[in-house]
Amino acid sequence: MLTLLKKINLFAGLTDPELEKIRKICVGETVAKDAVIFKEGDSGDKCCMILKGEVRISKFIPNIGEEALAVLKTGDYFGEMALIDNFPRSAHAIANVDSSLIVIKKADLDNILIMDRELGFKLLLTFTKTLSLRLREMNDKMAGFLALAGGF
């Protein structure tokens, strides 16, 4: 299991003893193609890592339909915002293909953050970098959209 965890971007910089702590709170989950993992507005109680497969993160826009924000692949993770704040989910997560996930519940991660501050710091730093990267990507998409729309 440690070998699998090392392949997840979130855990890339962790030591084997730190990974062992993470392993203890991981739960495997299999999802079928087109299965909804969570919906926008759901309470956020877990973060998911993709061991195998593809997950799309989407918003459903009234009178338009689904707009895919990102397609995540093996090694990527999603739902991490729910581990940091207590707000509802900001988008849908839907399996593009049959997928295998590792799930970490918020309560279990909170315990690690309290008990092992160094590990908690490493995880929160990685979360912050991921959120920053995703925000930059969204800014670029919005700029492109505005340029296509005539600069409204």
CATH number where 28 lies:
2.60.120.10
- Cα–Cα distance for residue pair 2/85, rounded to 1 Å: 28
**Predicted structure pTM score:** 0.80
Q: Is residue 10 part of a domain?
A: yes
Number of domains composing the chain:
1
Across the chain, which has 152 residues, the per-10-residue mean pLDDT values are: 80 88 93 97 91 94 87 91 83 96 92 89 85 83 76 57
Query: Quick one: tokens of 127?
Result: 């979360």
What's the pLDDT score for residue 152? 55
- Residue 49 belongs to some domain of the structure: yes
Establish if 111 belongs to a structural domain: no
Alpha carbon distance 24, 43 (integer Å): 23
Partners of 67 in the β-ladder = 59
pLDDT digits (tens, 9 = 90+) for 104-126: 999 998 898 889 989 988 888 88
Task: Work out the number of other CB atoms within 10 angstroms of the CB of residue 37.
Answer: 21
Q: Cβ distance 71 to 82 under 8 Å?
A: no
Task: Give residue 151's pLDDT.
Answer: 59
Domain span at 6? 2-106+117-148
